Chains A and B, each alone.
Chain A
Amino acid sequence: MKISKEAQYLSRQLFDAAFVNGCLDEARSLKIAEAIEQTRPRYAFQILKEFTRLLRLELAKHHALVESATPLDEASKQAIMFTLKQGDPQVTFSVTTNTSLIGGARIQLGSNVWDGSVAARLEKLKTTVLV
């Protein structure tokens, strides 16, 4: 969707206002969204869309998606959580099982991916051997 410069600027300002002590405040974010909906400023739809996009990216930055080929035991989950928290104290995480990984695990935090799955290794082997 095309977005005007003005809408972009305003949504950025509102997004910055949703932070408290450097952390995204959920309640404040909702309040801002409600305020946009009620006051209906110029480009309200665009602002809301861009504001939501920025929130989505910010949340993704602090949310780790852990995929494993087999269900993880509690100890492994705790170990992963501990390691991730060291890098980012705000981090939250969800665990899913993905059998297409064949073995091992894949963790995505924001745009960083740590891939230790067998599927990724096989892919790497394929490129190494076929080059």
Chain B
Amino acid sequence: MSNLLQELEQKIGAFRASDATKSNVGIVREIGDGVARIEGLSGAMLNEMLEFPGGIFGLALNLEETEVGAIILGDYTKITEGDQVSTTGRLLQVPVGKKLLGRVVDSLGRPVDGKGELGSSTFYPVEKIAPGIIKRQGVSQPVQTGIMAIDAMVPVGRGQRELIIGDRSTGKTTIAIDTIINQAAINRAGEESGDPNFRPLYSIYVAIGQRVANVARVVSALEAHDALKYTVIVSSTASTAAADQYIAPFAGAAIGEWFMDNGMDALIVFDDLSKHAVAYRQISLLLKRPSGREAYPGDVFYLHSRLLERSARLSEKAGNGSLTALPIIETQLGDVSAYIPTNVISITDGQIYLENDLFYQGIRPAISVGLSVSRVGSAAQIKAMKQVAGKLKGDLAQFRELAAFAQFGSDLDARTKAQLERGQRVVELFKQSQHKPLAVELQASILWAMQKGYFNDVPVDKVKVYQNKMEEYLTTRKAPILASLLAKKAFDEALEKELGAALDEFKTVVSC
């Protein structure tokens, strides 16, 4: 109680000491659709927070000769023409820190999960200049997605920006959620091992313009896999104003930057940037900014480039933290050459392209091998994976071509037949159920078995069953081999011998 009184007295003391305050004010001349035009405010700065009556805040985006165009963050229906607006001298900030883990917040960092206040006292500005050249270093540590097709063929490294692109309902969000779930599993195992060098990877999932039900589904999936405690969810659903949707990815990036700046690793998923671009287009048109291609404003490229440039791997001197970004783009009828997809493709360090046809053929995740690429991730792949998956991408692309060609002819030479059979088996191996990520050592072992011909005499339609049994066998009976592979991170002669013996034994035990 005495502490409370002391604190109150201090505050009253500060109040007494204060002199007349100087502020800069303006009058709302127009208000509608979340955008206000304000006369006056001669001292307003770009991106400065503006205070409206009733504790509502706005963001100054257009500084014109006699007016200021601002977006309203909150309920704009309570603002009326003639209301007085004042500058605050502050940039928009969001709470950051570990206290946000396990929480669902809105684009301003306010909790929306009903679990009470965040209690975070650290704030980061929503807009921040990306780390410069000196502060960065190359991508060299992997982000294990737990999805075999990705970890083998389009590996992602810490600090990389890998785009997930595809039509609606092709499994884009699933890939991102599986990655978060896999990271949570790795984090748990790392914490249990007590390894002092273990670096956990925290996740941030930013939902932009998504249906509320989708966000609820993501939250429950993460909760079900005990992954929510390593995740922050920034939710700006379709029911929120365009201004909130515009701010959300930047707020998420600020939350991720805190982990990076404090020497930790974080992963951020922007789901999705197509809707973000649409929200920005809406704001820009309401602010009467000139429109360009597809009515998007001229700076829509800069909007996404400045956002994604904030993902980086910092140098040892700068704390060795990293922020990996998985932006998602939804295409229309597989058109990757549309305006926003080409923009984001050119900004990112590679893309995972999901094909509608593959999805409906039952190949899930429906990753198109030919169009998916990781420009920097191979440097981060562990050696064991490189040893077994080195030529896999090329082989699989060749298989797809051959398969299309083989449809026209029945007489195929033995070499082509073998290539086709192998391709079919690899395709089967890469099929994976959602929310069931595989550990990297298990992935490498399976691919090693494939490479050494352990799947050759298994009928194609039984490959998946055989693989599942093999995984179970290896994890339950041959765990030391997997542990040794994880520790060595490469196949050596002794390990290959041990794994070979184990798989020979498996063959005798299990028949398909």
Contacts and interface: CB of A to CB of B under 8 A. Distances in A.
A124 B18 CA distance: 10
Interface residues of A, number: 20
B23 A57 contact: no
A112 B41 CA distance: 8
A112 B21 contact: no
B377 interface: no
A91 interface: no
Interface stretch (A31-39, A70-78, A81-89, A113-121): A113-121
A41 interface: no
A112 B43 contact: yes
Nearest to B84: A113
B5 to A, nearest CB: 12
B56 to A, nearest CB: 14
Interface string B27-39: 0000000000001
Given A125-B15, A128-B11, A128-B14, A115 B20 contact: yes
Interface string A96-131: 000000001000101111111000110011001100
A101 B43 CA distance: 25
Nearest to B44: A111
Contacts of A60: 40
B46 to A, nearest CB: 16
Nearest to A115: B21
A111 B23 CA distance: 8
**A60, A111, A116, A124: which has the most chain B beta carbons within 10 Å?**
A111
B115 interface: no
Nearest to A108: B25
B8 interface: yes
Contacts of A108: 25
Contacts of A61: 42
A44 interface: no
B332 interface: no
Nearest to B30: A1
Given A54-B66, A129-B8, A129-B11, A110 B42 contact: yes
Contacts of B8: 129
Contact of B66 (A57, A114, A116): A57
B297 interface: no
Given A54-B66, A57-B39, A111-B41, A125 B22 contact: no
A60 B42 CA distance: 12
B12 A113 contact: no
Q: Does more than half of chain A's interface fall in helix, strand or loop, or is it mixed?
A: helix
A114 B18 CA distance: 13
**B24, B40, B43: which has the most chain A beta carbons within 10 Å?**
B40
Contacts of B492: none
B20 A114 contact: yes
B19 interface: yes
A120 B66 contact: no
Contact of A111 (B11, B15, B25): B25
Contacts of B24: 111-113
A120 B22 CA distance: 11
B11 A115 contact: no
B65 to A, nearest CB: 8
Nearest to A131: B11
Contacts of B20: 104, 114-116
A115 B18 contact: no
Interface in B43-68: 43, 66
B249 interface: no
A116 B19 CA distance: 7
Given A111-B43, A129-B8, A121 B18 contact: yes
B21 A114 contact: yes
B423 interface: no
B15 A113 contact: no
A129 B8 CA distance: 7
A57 B26 CA distance: 11
A131 to B, nearest CB: 9
Interface of A: 53-54, 57, 60-61, 104, 108, 110-116, 120-121, 124-125, 128-129
Q: Which 8 A-B pairs have the closest CB atoms?
A: A116-B20, A111-B40, A111-B42, A125-B15, A113-B23, A128-B11, A113-B25, A111-B24
Given A111-B42, A112-B23, 8 more contacts: A57-B66, A61-B42, A112-B42, A116-B21, A121-B15, A125-B11, A125-B15, A128-B11
19 contacts: A54-B66, A57-B40, A57-B66, A61-B42, A104-B20, A110-B40, A111-B42, A111-B43, A112-B23, A112-B24, A112-B43, A114-B22, A116-B19, A120-B21, A124-B15, A124-B21, A125-B12, A128-B11, A129-B8
